[in-house]
Amino acid sequence: MAELGAHLTAEAAGDDRPSIFEAVAQDSLMAAVKPALLHLVKVLAESNPGRYGLLWRRFDEIYVLLDFLLQQHYLARCSASFAENFYSLKRIPTGDCKQPPLATAGLPKKQHWKSLLLLILVPYLKGKLEKLVSSLREEDEYAIHPPSSSWKRFYRAFLAAYPFVNMAWEGWFLIQQLCYILGKAQHHSPLLRLAGVRLVRLTAEDIQALEKKLAVAASTQTHSIKTQVQSAVRKALGGITFSLSTGLSVCVFFLQFLDWWYSSENQETIKSLTALPTPPPPVHLDQDVASALLPKLKTVCPLCRKVRVNATALSTSGFVFCYRCVYNYVKTHQRCPITGYATELQHLVKLYSPES
């Protein structure tokens, strides 16, 4: 088995392609940074909504802008994205290049802008689409629907088709990676193919050229006031960009740790270890014959006596019902059907099971 899988990580003679593990690792790097930064902004917004609320509301747009500046800097300076440069990779135009250009030469203009747009816009649009689908699903679960309409039929059809579209998208990437592993493709990602570039490892000449370029930029001396001011501005911007990139390189593992720490699987493990015993149910205060009695099966709604749909709890008593059943009951009677506690519609809490 070891011999069969050795080609996945071993570098063939004269082959400058990265292994599939390097390629996938650089893809997952930026995917792990965004959720960690999102959690950080959420904590800031919750601690001071007036000052940081805008960051939370416009996080996607602000992140796209910062990502655009970062990727533009690295593509122009190193012919690679931030994550690719972090793993000592670079982009070169697709084709038979006996002598690939140095990383400092940059990409051709067409490939440069196609790479930049695909690096920035595809994750942004995919994230927006996932948020739209999530909001439509939540609206479909919670809303008490009006009579059937063309819009309702459209978004239900959209919700039904989205999983298959997403499966086709992920399957496209999986097939491309399998072809890359088997040596049938030059790209591990369809986005690289659309950009007209492929990934190769940085050579010793690339590293020397990058170091020389940085040293020349740092040692440039000018004498006129205008050029000195321009040089100072460029150095300041370069210093900010360098500090940002260096800080990201240092903090990326910390951000990945945050992403793991606040993942749902890890939180469930922590809660299971620190959970307190379940308190007993509240005393039945209302002895009226109209009050609902608890069914023997825990999965049955006390109101409709059927298996619960869209389980919803009352925060005033802790009992669980179907959403529509308890919504209509509380709206009419303003009390818990079991205990008789005074209850309002804002006390309804939707419950999510691990399967959902």
- Of 195 and 206, more confident: 195
Residue 294 pLDDT greater than 80, yes or no: no
> Global pTM?
0.59
Helix count and strand count (H, E) for the chain:
12, 5
Phi (first) and psi of residue 16, to 5 degrees? -100, 5
Average pLDDT rounded to a whole number, residues 125-150:
73
**CATH tag, 295-350:** 3.30.40.10
- Written as six digits, the tokens of 199 are 């990934």
Tens digit of pLDDT for each residue in 297-336?
888 998 998 888 889 999 888 889 999 999 999 998 888 8
Average pLDDT rounded to a whole number, residues 110-119:
90
Average pLDDT rounded to a whole number, residues 224-238:
61
Average pLDDT rounded to a whole number, residues 142-164:
71
Residue 198, H or E segment? strand 197-201
The reported pLDDT for the residue numbered 325 is 92
The reported pLDDT for the residue numbered 2 is 45
Q: Which of 202, 246, 206 is nearest to 89 (CA)?
A: 202
The residues pairing with 313 across neighbouring beta strands, listed in sequence order, are 320, 349
pLDDT bucket at 226, cuts 50 / 70 / 90:
low
3-class secondary structure, 313: strand
- Written as six digits, the tokens of 313 are 């709890």
- Parse the chain into domains and list their residue ranges: 15-213, 295-350
3-class secondary structure, 93: strand
Average pLDDT rounded to a whole number, residues 163-170:
90
Q: Which of 100, 87, 94, 106 is nearest to 19 (CA)?
A: 87
